[in-house]
Amino acid sequence: MLSENGNPSSKRWVAVVATLLIVIGYIANLFWDYTIEEFIFNGVMYIVIGTLGITGVEKFAPKKPTKKSDEE
């Protein structure tokens, strides 16, 4: 849940919360016959895909030089 410098990553938190919402909806549909509108489910699913995709792309993106490395 933490980024490389030890701070909480908001994108990862959003992805985890949205994934939990999908799981809760799945369990509610499975056991209590509660249905969730398709557009709501798709919206939450796209949020998860987008946030995890952005986090994944950041791992392969070139690193920006910091001021400390510029001074050396």
For residue 4, being part of any structural domain is answered with no
Domain range holding 27?
10-71
Q: Which of 16, 61, 70 is nearest to 8 (CA)?
A: 16
Indicate the number of domains in the chain: 1
This prediction has a pTM of: 0.56
The β-bridge partners of 71 are none
For residue 60, being part of any structural domain is answered with yes
For residue 1, being part of any structural domain is answered with no
6-60 confidence digits (pLDDT tens): 666 777 777 778 888 888 888 888 888 888 788 888 888 888 788 777 766 767 7
Q: Which residue has the higher pLDDT, 20 or 72?
A: 20
